[in-house]
Amino acid sequence: MHIPDGFLDPWICLMMYAITIIFWIFSFRKTKHILEDKHIPLMSTLTAMFFAAQMMNFPIIGGTTAHLLGGPIIGITLGPYAGLISMTVILLIQALFFGDGGLTTFGANVWNMGIIGVFIPYIICLAIVRIGKNTKSLLIGAFLGALIGDVLAAIFAGIELGISFLSFPYSIQIAVTAMATHHFFIGIGEGIITMIILSILIKNRPDLLELPKATPYWLGEFPKFLISKGGEK
Amino acid sequence: MKYEKLAIVGIIISIIFVIIGCTWLSLSAETFDEIAEKFGAKENLIWNPPLPDYEMPGFEGNLLINTIIGIIFTILTFIAAYGIGNLLKSKRVK
């Protein structure tokens, strides 16, 4: 889903940078009030793990391949703001050193994978956990959040391409349909893997899921039930 | 201490991902690239990355070099995230 240089019109690149910069400012401000010593190894480990995980290309439909984005698990574990910082580090290294995603399109890529791909899974998972208040709801929320987050990120990428009339000679409908259809299957894989990782964490390190998270104040944090209930199994 | 152990386990898992990604699951035919190619979209690089497509120029297809590059950059990613985390934390402490 990394959009390379040349695929988006300049005004879209500028607009996406502007929106993304606002989120970066909020993320840095909010994260520095939350971040403690114990967060840093977790944040850096997850960032490195999903940089590495993105190197694994899984075969999917039609002879194409897909890789994990990692946004959902990073967002659910660290909170969306710290998750955005982690994803920004991954995307910046990929763009600068490997040409995986462009520099003019960096703002758009961060928006798609670092903001939509992190905030949406967090919000969906949080909503479902607040209803269920148990580990089952956490896993269901993680699956649905990852699936919907991936599809929405793909839809946004399709919209950005579709309205790039100068650079991308196909309509928004074609671009969005193609991206969303394929990424529905990627989203299912991302959802299953997010659930598996969360299950392992719930079983072995529930404390990591209950660390304070950097979140927008109006969203709030996950209800605490994992440690207090000894981690339901 | 338990968080340092977590970091070590995480880096080991990351290295396993890199090895799998550079050997068994190395074929990249991403949906996005396929769609872009089908629609005739053209890449227009403004920056020549030193390691295009995760490979060292002149050593394309060399699994060992690709794996080493993957491992080095995984560790660099860890260090970058660790540095940013510390920077944010130290600002708050001040």
pLDDT digits (tens, 9 = 90+) for A72-85: 999 998 889 999 99
Q: Is B21 on the interface with A (CB under 8 A)?
A: yes
- Decide if A148 contacts A124 (C-beta within 8 A): yes
Q: Is B11 on the interface with A (CB under 8 A)?
A: yes
**Residue of A33, A42, A43, A44 best to disrupt the B interface, most CBs of B under 10 A:** A44
Burial class (CB in 10 A: 0-12, 13-18, 19+), B38: exposed
CB contact under 8 A, A37 and B10: no
Q: Distance, in angstroms, between B68 CA and closest chain A CA?
A: 12
> For residue A184, how many C-alpha atoms fall within 13 Å in the half-sphere facing its CB?
5
Instruction: Count residue pairs from A and B with Cβ separation < 8 A.
Output: 195
**Lowest model confidence (mean pLDDT) among A23-27, A135-139, A196-200, B29-33:** B29-33
What are residue A66's DSSP bridge partners?
A: A58
The full length of chain A comes to 233
pLDDT value of position A128? 93
Query: If pLDDT is split at 50, 70 and 90, which confidence band does A115 have?
Result: very high
| Secondary structure (3-state) at B26 | coil
Statement: residue A106 has pLDDT above 70: yes
Q: What is the mean pLDDT of residues A149-166?
A: 89
Burial class (CB in 10 A: 0-12, 13-18, 19+), B43: middle
CB contact under 8 A, B85 and A55: no
pLDDT value of position A183? 85
Q: Six-digit token pair at A46?
A: 């997850």
Domain residue spans in chain A? Answer: 10-209
pLDDT value of position A227? 54
- Taking the domain A10-209, which CATH number applies? 1.10.1760.20
Q: Is A11 on the interface with B (CB under 8 A)?
A: no
Residues 6+ apart with CB under 8 A from B29: A57, A63, A64, A65
Of A35, A66, A99, the CB nearest to B30: A66
Q: What is the mean pLDDT of residues A98-113?
A: 94
Interface of A with B in 117-156 (CB under 8 A): none
CB contact under 8 A, B32 and A65: no
The single-letter code of the amino acid at A103 is: L
What is the rounded distance in angstroms from the CA atom of residue A162 to the CA atom of residue A170? 6
What is the rounded distance in angstroms from the CA atom of residue A144 to the CA atom of residue A160? 24
B-chain residue closest to A155, CA distance: B32
pLDDT one-digit tens code per residue, A2-17: 888 988 899 999 999 9
Residues 6+ apart with CB under 8 A from A217: none
Statement: residue A161 has pLDDT above 50: yes
Task: Look at residues B36, B10, B13 and name the one whose alpha carbon lies nearest to residue A42.
Answer: B10
Statement: residue A232 has pLDDT above 50: no
pLDDT value of position B31? 67
pLDDT one-digit tens code per residue, B37-86: 777 777 788 888 999 888 899 988 888 999 999 999 999 999 999 999 98
| Chain A residues near residue B45 by CB distance under 8 angstroms | 4-6, 99, 102
Statement: residue A188 has pLDDT above 60: yes
Statement: residue B90 has pLDDT above 80: no
